[in-house]
């Protein structure tokens, strides 16, 4: 149940409207925890009902105005409790790996092209992460919150590096397979 915690984190970083949260998810948190616009709005309602967040009072009342939300002490306490709790790693579930396993028994038709497509997608994502690192984490930017955010980005860089290496190897391996 991490979506509420992702939202609490984002709101503690900066009080925001649902639309602003959706945009922020697309640009940062969404790289490692995705959510749709509808999921975010639904969760905002739940968090507000539970007393974890509140809508900020509008400067001028207006019909259809976006609500901005902030985290209440109960929300901060919930996020701190969740952050401190132990959690086991999730088992790996990857459709591409399962498809490779299935190809061993039904054949590889179409799979090499998709491996190449995945490789290109991971290369692009890696380049994007490396650009974010250059832009947002120059040498000397080492406040504790910056170091933790950089660790999250480094995890993304390392995962994309793994996938590009592995997919490059998989494409080469496909080239050496006998025709079936």
Q: What number is the average pLDDT over the span 21-27?
A: 86
User: SS3 helix, strand, coil % of the chain, rounded to 5?
Assistant: 65, 5, 30
pLDDT (0 to 100) of residue 65: 65
**3-class DSSP state of 1:** coil
pLDDT (0 to 100) of residue 178: 79
Q: What number is the average pLDDT over the span 43-72?
A: 85
pLDDT (0 to 100) of residue 95: 92
pLDDT (0 to 100) of residue 24: 86
pLDDT (0 to 100) of residue 180: 55
Kind of pairing, strands 16-17 and 68-71? antiparallel
Q: What number is the average pLDDT over the span 53-66?
A: 74
- pLDDT above 90 covers a percentage of the chain that reads 68
What is the layout of strands, in order, in the sheet containing 16-17? 16-17, 68-71, 53-55
Torsion sign (Cα): 158, 159, 164, 170: positive
Going from the C-alpha of 29 to that of each of 45, 64, 80, the distances in angstroms are: 20, 27, 18
pLDDT digits (tens, 9 = 90+) for 94-135: 999 999 999 989 988 889 999 999 999 999 999 999 999 999
pLDDT (0 to 100) of residue 61: 59
pLDDT digits (tens, 9 = 90+) for 152-177: 999 999 999 999 999 999 999 988 88
**Residue 59 confidence (pLDDT) above 80:** no
- More reliable by pLDDT, 92 or 64: 92
pLDDT (0 to 100) of residue 101: 92
- More reliable by pLDDT, 61 or 91: 91
């Amino acid at each position: 149940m991490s979506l509420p915690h992702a939202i609490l984190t984002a709101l503690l970083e900066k009080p925001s409207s649902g639309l602003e949260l959706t945009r922020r998810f697309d640009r940062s948190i969404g790289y490692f925890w995705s959510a749709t616009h509808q999921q975010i709005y639904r969760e905002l309602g739940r968090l507000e009902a539970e007393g974890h967040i509140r809508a900020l009072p509008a400067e001028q009342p207006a019909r259809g105005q976006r609500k901005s939300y902030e985290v209440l002490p109960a929300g901060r306490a919930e996020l701190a409790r969740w952050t401190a709790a132990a959690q086991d790693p999730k088992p790996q579930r990857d459709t591409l790996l399962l498809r490779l396993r299935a190809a061993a028994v039904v054949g590889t038709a179409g799979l090499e092209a998709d491996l190449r497509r995945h490789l290109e997608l991971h290369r692009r994502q890696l380049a994007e992460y490396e650009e974010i690192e250059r832009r947002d984490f120059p040498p000397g930017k080492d406040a504790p919150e910056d170091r933790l955010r950089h660790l999250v980005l480094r995890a993304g860089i390392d995962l994309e590096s793994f996938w590009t290496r592995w997919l490059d190897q998989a494409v080469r391996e496909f080239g050496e397979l006998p025709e079936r």
